[in-house]
């Protein structure tokens, strides 16, 4: 069981297996099969190194920002919430994950929902949400696993379809789908962008910067400067003691400099990995779909689209994070029972992707509007389910993403009507 869970939770191995099967189906020779399989795994691992680097720096930023501005509340971080859920309901969560992946294949094989989702981390997060809700209503383990796994498999196959019209605009093709459980939010961002359709040609990538800001045309230079500003603001707000604790042997004023450039380096690594594995997996997947699951598509993690509109990613991140901060002020003013604090790494990946979707239909205006709404959804939706999670032993953190909150809220409402 542990071996299978570990395997299904590792997207690099999953993609490697699919590449291997696809290359065999193409009747490639042994060296080509090994080369394509290894390049797929290595490319995705390079991508993962970049993503981990980015996440680590943004988590440090979260700590500095929260301490510096004295914002109490619940961190919208699925990683921490998952760790708590696993200790309480590990068997149900793991089994739901396995059945969910298998049901994804079943739906892709026998229904028009032809997407196969490869984001093992997000499948695990969704499995946690479903397991917690079903167990809160007293379902036996096997019943919870069957219901949860079926819902998870359906969502994995169906939700990428919402985003596909926008994916075709973004990538210029129909070979891949997005596989990241904010897909309702991304599709909504693309729809919001359409309200600015007459400005669609004025994209984030064509922004005319003044000559003294011309370095912003280079994505890595622009993001380095933005992250430098953000890190130093958070560092000065947090003060020397808090920063030094994070910095270790690094001087507290040097730490934000290193973190900002480490973030930019992580982005460079991430995009290199994307280019490497995407070329291999797309070709291999065509063969798999033709042989076993006709017309299926791989639903891949969001950074696969970052190279298509890198400036939109930056715009989306900043806008969604700003929306999250505004949401905090609203929650405090209204007197919400729990305050959801946006996690910078969630806003980067989710808000940045919403920016790309909004940009594809409404230019830079669509990128700002779509990612702003995404930031509000990431902040306000978790409030509704947090009391249930806290009662089940998951307190101090929560699951922020749009899709499993919407599915979770609907499931909780339906079960509440009958149980």
Mean pLDDT for all residues in the chain: 85
- Per-residue pLDDT, averaged over 367-384, amounts to 95
By CB neighbour count within 10 A (0-12 exposed, 13-18 middle, 19+ buried), where does 388 fall? Answer: middle
Joined tokens for residue 403: 């899709």
CA dist 36 → 16, 20, 30, 292 (Å)? 8, 7, 10, 19
**In a 3-state reduction of DSSP, which class is residue 70?**
coil
Cα Rg for the chain, rounded, in angstroms? 21
pLDDT in the model for residue 326: 95
Helix (H) or strand (E) holding 197: none
Distance from C-alpha of 65 to C-alpha of 304, rounded to nearest angstrom: 29
Distance from C-alpha of 194 to C-alpha of 238, rounded to nearest angstrom: 40
pLDDT in the model for residue 115: 92
* Alpha helices in 297-351, H assignment, sequence order: 310-334, 344-346
Query: pLDDT tens-digit profile of 305-359?
Result: 988 998 899 899 889 989 999 998 999 899 888 888 787 778 888 999 999 999 9
Residue 103 has pLDDT above 60, yes or no: yes
Tell me how far apart the terminal alpha carbons of the chain are, to the nearest angstrom: 32
Distance from C-alpha of 398 to C-alpha of 158, rounded to nearest angstrom: 24
pLDDT in the model for residue 236: 93
- Per-residue pLDDT, averaged over 381-393, amounts to 89
The residue among 287 and 160 whose pLDDT is bigger is 160
Joined tokens for residue 127: 């499995």
Smallest CA-to-CA distance from 92 within 118, 127, 117, 126 is with 127
pLDDT in the model for residue 396: 67
Distance from C-alpha of 308 to C-alpha of 119, rounded to nearest angstrom: 20
pLDDT in the model for residue 270: 73
Smallest CA-to-CA distance from 111 within 152, 155, 157, 151 is with 157
Query: pLDDT tens-digit profile of 195-254?
Result: 999 998 899 888 776 665 555 556 677 678 778 888 898 899 999 999 999 999 999 999
Mention every residue, 6+ apart, whose C-beta is less than 8 A from residue 182: 350, 353, 354, 374, 378, 401, 402, 403
Residue 80 has pLDDT above 90, yes or no: no
Residue 290 has pLDDT above 60, yes or no: yes
Range among 146-150, 263-267, 347-351, 382-386 rated most confident: 146-150
- Per-residue pLDDT, averaged over 126-146, amounts to 93
Out of 66-80, 109-123, 289-303, 402-416, pick the least confident.
Answer: 66-80
Residue 275 has pLDDT above 80, yes or no: no
Distance from C-alpha of 23 to C-alpha of 28, rounded to nearest angstrom: 6
pLDDT in the model for residue 122: 81
- Per-residue pLDDT, averaged over 275-279, amounts to 70
Distance from C-alpha of 314 to C-alpha of 306, rounded to nearest angstrom: 10
pTM above 0.85, yes or no: no
Are 320 and 378 in contact, with CB atoms under 8 Å apart?
yes
């Amino acid at each position: 069981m542990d071996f299978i869970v570990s395997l299904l939770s590792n997207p690099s191995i999953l993609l490697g297996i699919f590449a291997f099967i696809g290359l065999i189906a193409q009747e490639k020779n042994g060296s080509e099969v090994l080369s394509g399989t290894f390049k797929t795994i290595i490319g995705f691992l390079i991508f993962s190194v970049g993503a981990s680097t980015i996440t680590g720096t943004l988590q440090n930023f979260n700590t500095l920002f929260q301490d510096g501005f004295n914002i109490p509340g619940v961190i919208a971080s699925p990683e921490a919430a998952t760790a708590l859920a696993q200790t309480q309901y590990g068997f149900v969560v793991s089994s739901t994950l396995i059945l969910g992946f298998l049901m994804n294949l079943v739906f892709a094989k026998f229904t028009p929902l032809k997407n196969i989702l490869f984001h093992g981390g997000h499948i695990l997060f969704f499995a946690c949400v479903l397991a917690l809700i079903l167990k809160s209503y007293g379902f036996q383990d096997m019943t919870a696993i069957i219901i949860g796994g079926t819902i998870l498999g359906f969502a994995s196959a169906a939700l990428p379809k919402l985003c596909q019209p926008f994916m075709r605009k973004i990538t210029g093709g129909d070979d891949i789908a997005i596989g990241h459980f904010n897909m309702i939010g991304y599709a909504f961002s693309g729809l919001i962008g359409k309200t600015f359709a007459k400005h669609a040609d004025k994209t984030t990538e064509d922004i005319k910067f003044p000559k003294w800001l011309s370095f912003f045309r280079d994505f890595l230079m622009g993001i380095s400067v933005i992250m430098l500003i953000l890190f130093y603001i958070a560092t000065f707000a947090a003060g020397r003691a808090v920063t030094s604790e994070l910095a270790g042997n690094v001087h507290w004023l040097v730490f934000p400099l290193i973190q900002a450039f480490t973030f930019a380096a992580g982005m460079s690594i991430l995009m290199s990995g994307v280019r490497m594995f995407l070329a291999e997996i797309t070709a291999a997947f065509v063969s798999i779909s033709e042989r076993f699951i006709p017309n299926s598509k791989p639903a891949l993690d969001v950074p696969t689209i970052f190279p298509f509109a890198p400036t939109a990613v930056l715009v989306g991140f900043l806008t969604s994070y700003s929306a999250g901060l505004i949401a905090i002020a609203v929650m405090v003013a209204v007197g919400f029972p729990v305050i959801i604090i946006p996690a910078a790494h969630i806003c980067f990946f989710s808000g940045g992707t919403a920016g790309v979707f909004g940009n594809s239909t409404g230019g830079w205006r669509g990128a700002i509007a779509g990612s702003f709404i995404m930031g509000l959804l990431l902040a306000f939706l978790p409030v509704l389910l947090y009391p249930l999670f806290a009662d089940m032993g998951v307190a101090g953190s929560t699951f922020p993403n749009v899709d499993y909150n919407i599915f979770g809220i609907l499931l909780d409402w339906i079960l509440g009507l009958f149980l």
